[in-house]
Amino acid sequence: MTERSPAVGARRAGPDDAEAVARLLHDFNTEFDTPSPGAAILTRRLQSLLAGPDTIAYLAGEPAVGVALVTLRRNVWYDGPVALLDELYVEPDRRGQGLGAAMIRMLIADAEAQGVSAIEINVDAGDVDAQRFYERQGFSGVDPDTGERAFYYSLEL
């Protein structure tokens, strides 16, 4: 299923788009000096993941210059699944043109249509540009019940 937003060319990706998704994810990590297993390995993984129900990707531009990668999981606190926006990337020379916002709008619309209960995003503390971007899209960095700042912890195994 491929949907397009004609204003900016955002669409939902399928398994046949694995190479484009992988290239952009690899470029994202390279830009920010983060290790990547390489586009070829990512392509192989994405071909399988994008064919299943729990991994969704959106591409923006033609050819693709932006990507959003989302994973779904069940959660005891919600009736529907929770979506985690794993990555959002737009090539540097195409930023500020609404491509990221178009992918987020498409993610939110799809999530609502599919009964997703919440969308979560992890943002580095120092990445104030990303924080402002997500806040403009309606996300909050505070707990809605207490108003306390939200934090993310992880442990790689």
Alpha helices, H only, the chain = 18-31, 39-49, 99-113, 128-136
Protein fold of 4-121: Aminopeptidase (3.40.630)
| Peptide bond before residue 37 is cis, with ω within 30 degrees of 0 | no
Beta strands 66-73 and 10-12 are: unpaired
The pTM score is 0.90
Residue 154, exposed/middle/buried by CB under 10 A (0-12, 13-18, 19+)? exposed
Residue 8 has a pLDDT of: 62
Residue 18 has a pLDDT of: 98
| Per-domain residue ranges of the chain | 4-121
Residue 109 has a pLDDT of: 96
Residue 4 has a pLDDT of: 42
Across the strands, what pairs with 85? 70, 121
pLDDT tens for residues 81-117? 999 999 999 999 999 999 999 999 999 999 999 999 9
Over the range 2-40, which residues count as b (16 or more CB within 10 Å of their CB) and which as e?
eeebeebbbbbbbeebbbbbbbbbbbbbeeeeeeeeebe
Residue 2 has a pLDDT of: 43
Q: For the chain, what is the total number of helices (H) and then of strands (E)?
A: 4, 6
Residue 97, exposed/middle/buried by CB under 10 A (0-12, 13-18, 19+)? middle
Q: Which residues of the chain have pLDDT under 50?
A: 1-7
